[in-house]
Amino acid sequence: MSAPKLSFPEHTTNLLATRTKSKSPKGSSDGVAKNDVTPTKSRTFIRKINHKETDVLISSNGVRHNYEKVVRTYKPDGHYNDCPSRALGDGATTLFVAIRKMTDEKKTAFFSENEFEIIVDLRDISFKNELPDSVTDGVMEREIGDILWFMESLGPEFPKLAKKIVIALYLPVTPLWKGSIKNEVLAVQESPASELVRYLVNHLSSFVAIEQLRIILHVQYHAEDRYGLEHRNLAILAPFYELAFQDWKLLWQNESRSRAVSVTKHHLGALNKYLLITKDSA
């Protein structure tokens, strides 16, 4: 996935760079005493931690703000030391407290200017109903339950103000089916993995300010089946067609690709056909 354009949200302006000069030592004409190795100036600024990632990442493991505050201290010899710390704290609780203390103006800037990535790991959830219900329900509850809890912990402004959303779906291993396309598509639609996606989409329906939505499919394969993106991978996307916002961009990535690429028109046409198949079978 390509890194989003780096821009510092308005809520960070109070943390941006300021410079302070050291007092000139007595007897020094140039402001730096001989053999003086003490810091002469410093500045504080905000920078992105990982340029390949989005601004805020939400998963079942928590919430991570991908910015840090850095205090850079310079020495007379030109060297400097960086002392980084989280720009708004780490973890959902700390981040929520920081957001709660923001003014309404800064909350609007934080949610509207940052890109939020929701990471859903379906790799332990099958495309087929081959696990006992108790096991499947437990995995689903941990994954989607925790994700939704962390999303809600960001506060009621999140669904009202967030404009840029990324959904990263890490799909289960593609099954080696030998049945008809229709039966395979229907099987995916009825699978635990699709059920979890429907839960997420239902929650996203409350997001009223979305202007950009990217969906990234992270695909796995059996060793014997290493073609490309397949109809059974696309079938899991059907719930997204129920969103009011339909101008979303679809990308995919597998182990051999260093970044996500756009899904072709051929595959998008196939997706529309599979949706008709499932609609006619309903």
pLDDT tens-place string over residues 164-220: 999 999 988 766 566 666 777 777 777 888 888 998 999 999 999 999 999 999 887
Alpha-carbon gap, residue 77 to 39, rounded angstroms? 10
Residue 155, sorted as left (phi over 0), alpha (psi -120 to 50) or beta, turns out to be: left
CB count in 10 Å sphere of residue 119? 19
Domain hosting residue 122, numbered range: 92-281
81 within some domain: no
Determine the pLDDT at residue 42.
84
Low-confidence ranges of the chain (pLDDT < 50): 1-35, 92, 131-132, 134-135, 223-226
Residue 35 lies in a domain: no
- The pLDDT assigned to 17 comes to 35
Residue 181 lies in a domain: yes
- Please count the structural domains in the chain: 1
Could you tell me if residue 53 is inside a domain? no
Contact 191, 79 (CB under 8 A): no
At 63, list the tokens: 């919430």
DSSP 13: G
Does residue 44 lie in a domain region? no
The whole-number pLDDT of residue 139 equals 61
* Dihedral Cα 141, 144, 150, 155, nearest 10 deg: -110
Three-state secondary-structure class, residue 47: strand
Position of tokens 């190795």? 37
How many CB atoms are located within 10 Å of the residue 264 CB?
13
Tell me the chain's radius of gyration from C-alpha atoms. Answer: 24
Cβ(193)–Cβ(125) under 8 Å? yes
Asked if residues 213 and 245 have their Cβ atoms less than 8 Å apart, the reply is yes
How would DSSP label each residue in 212-274? EEEEEEEEE--TT---SS-HHHHGGGGGGGGSS----EEEEE-TT-SS-EEPPHHHHHHHHHH
Q: How many Å apart are CA 40 and CA 48, to the nearest integer? A: 26
Q: What share of the chain is helix, strand, coil (3-state, %, to 5)?
A: 35, 25, 40
Q: Which of 150, 134, 188, 187 is nearest to 63 (CA)?
A: 150
Question: What does the block give as tokens for 160?
Answer: 């009202």
Residue at 129 is within a domain:
yes
Write down the H helix ranges in the chain: 92-100, 104-113, 133-153, 157-161, 181-189, 192-204, 231-234, 265-281
Report whether 104 contacts 96 (CB < 8 A). no
242 occurs within a structural domain: yes
pLDDT one-digit tens code per residue, 253-266: 887 777 888 887 77
pLDDT of residue 190: 78
pTM of the model: 0.74
Within a domain: residue 1? no
